[in-house]
Each structure stands twice: as C-alpha cells, then as structure tokens.
Amino acid sequence: MTEHSYTLPGVTGDWEVVMGLEIHAQVVSNAKLFSGAATAFGAAPNSQVSLVDAAMPGMLPVINEHVVEQAVKTGLGLNAKINNWSRFDRKNYFYPDLPQGYQISQFQFPIVGEGAIECERDDGSRFTVRIERLHLEQDAGKSIHDLDPNSTYVDLNRSGVALMEIVSKPDIRSPEEASAYVSKLRTILRYLGTCGGDMEKGQLRADVNVSVCKPGAYEKFRETGDFKHLGTRCEIKNVNSLRFIRQAIEYEAQRQIDIIEEGGKVDQETRLFDANTGVTRSMRSKEEAHDYRYFPD
C-alpha cells in the first residue's frame, strides 16, 4: 500500500478502491455542436431547438468550428496530445430524449489523446491523474418525470449541446482524490474559458467508475496493464457535486465489498446516486462498445 492508500475494512481483511472518472463538460459556445441553436441556461422548455436538434428528416449537421477550437485549447491545458486527424461516430442507443436514436460522438479517433494533470490532496501532497482521451459529443435532451404521475415530459433544449468527455485512467484511489481531481479539472476549464463548470446547471457532470480489490492488486495492474487484477467496476452516472461524488464512492465501495464477502458477484452495471438517501441503485446493465454499434458519421 502507498502512503495515501484509502482502505476499507472487511471480514476478510482490508480492501482498496480504484476509480476512473469520465467528466462531461459543456463547451462554452453560443451555439450547439452541429446547429446554430442557442445554448443559454434556463430558457423555456423546447425554445432552443433547431430542426437538426429535433432530428427532422433530411437535416444535415454542420460542425461548429468554435467548439473544435475549445476542445483543442482544453487538450493543451491537460498537457495532452492533440490529434491532427479525428472522426465523429454514431453511438446508437434509444432514449425518449434522444430524438435521433443515436448520439454523434467520437470512438476510435478522438480529437485529444493522452495527457496528465497534477492534483493536490487536502494535506498538500500531490498525485497525478493520467488522461486517456478527450472527445467531443452531443448532449441528449432531458426527461422530466415529476410534472405528471402518468407521463414523462421531454425538453430538447440540451439536445445537441456540445460536450467534451474527458476520460481518466484508473489512477484515483480515494473519495478525497476523486473530488480533488474534479476540482482541479474544473479550475483548468474555467481558467481556459472552455467550460463554465457550474455543476448545479449541468455544465459539469461526473460518471464515476468504482471497483474494489485487495491490497497489492493495483500495483500489479500498473505493472502489467491487465485489468484482471482489478475488481468488476460499476459506473455511477451523472453525479453533479463534489460532495455527492465522495458520498457515492463511499457507499458503492462498501456495497461491492459486502457482496464479495458474502460470496456473491458484482455485476458490471450503470448505477444512479440518490442524493436524498445516500445510496446507489441499479439503472441498467453496463453496455460495451459493441452494444452501441459504432460506425463513422
């Protein structure tokens, strides 16, 4: 174990936590990724939706050059490789608030490659988180479930808004490090002017991948690069505050430990964090890349 290891006690001994984060950062831009529709927060529902955003037949997307510039600027701020050639892909899945039936994203050829940022713990010690990639993609709309007991309402104002998805390596080892990483990343984005970083407005959202393992397993993973040394990971989707990130990790790590020590098996799945109860709950089985049927857009 390292000096700053975060361990949780169990019946069979101590456990360690391993995390990688996927940060969805809304790009500062007056227009969406592939349309000229506005992106202002707080507008009346469905008042900022172009024919492209609503996926009307025959509509053709046109890339927003400013968004590309913002992604490159962010990549430079992350000490990352800027790829001279990148490609958009269709990521196929169905949600009521995804009118196209697919999301225009990037898969094999992202705009930004590997980088790294240095972060600081509460005690002043530093740690480095490696960045795997930054890619551009469209946001989905928003499903609203609490306006009617029998109906779901859909607001497409966010549909097509430009997002940078910043994916880290599994280098984060504690709830404290996770919040420190998100805080440092948010500071960089705000300084560069590429993302407002207001988590309450949905400008910055974290998907937290959590797994647990026995002490020493992570070091074997870093030596070999083989994920078999780490436990099955679960993704906690769309966590929107630093405090909730810490709470979600603490609960989810303990949940996985309890399952394993009782002889069960952790299912790879996507989970939601309920801020009112402080627990995570199952949302859906975790999709793999082949489930999305990626192909060039």
Identify whether the C-beta of residue 138 lies closer than 8 Å to the C-beta of residue 104: yes
pLDDT in tens, 106-129: 999 999 999 999 999 999 999 999
Task: Count the alpha carbons within 13 Å of 273 in the hemisphere toward its beta carbon.
Answer: 28
Identify whether the C-beta of residue 253 lies closer than 8 Å to the C-beta of residue 284: no
Average pLDDT, 10 consecutive residues per value, the chain (297 residues): 72 95 98 97 96 94 97 98 97 91 96 97 95 97 91 95 98 96 98 96 96 92 88 93 96 97 94 94 76 90
Q: What is the per-residue pLDDT for 286?
A: 64
Q: What is the per-residue pLDDT for 280?
A: 95
DSSP string, the chain: --TT--EEEETTEEEEEEEEEEEEEE---SS-SSS-----TTPPTTSS--TTTTT-TT------HHHHHHHHHHHHHTT-PBPS----EEEE---TT-TTSEEEE-SSS-SB--EEEEEE-TTS-EEEEEEEEEEEEE---EEE-SS-TT--EEE-TTTT-EEEEEEE-S-B-SHHHHHHHHHHHHHHHHHHTS----GGGTSEEEEEEEEEE-TTHHHHHHHH--GGGSPPPEEEEEE-SHHHHHHHHHHHHHHHHHHHHTT--PPPEEEEEETTTTEEEEEEEPPPGGGGT-EE-
Q: How many CB atoms lie within 10 A of CB 145?
A: 9
Q: What is the per-residue pLDDT for 283?
A: 87
Identify whether the C-beta of residue 186 lies closer than 8 Å to the C-beta of residue 18: no
Please give, one letter per residue, the 3-state secondary structure of 67-111: HHHHHHHHHHHCCCCECCCCCCEEEECCCCCCCCCEEEECCCCCC
Rg (CA), the chain: 19
pLDDT in tens, 146-191: 899 999 999 999 999 999 999 999 999 999 999 999 999 999 999 9
End-to-end CA distance of the chain: give it in Å, rounded.
45
Q: What is the per-residue pLDDT for 80?
A: 98
Q: What is the per-residue pLDDT for 2?
A: 44
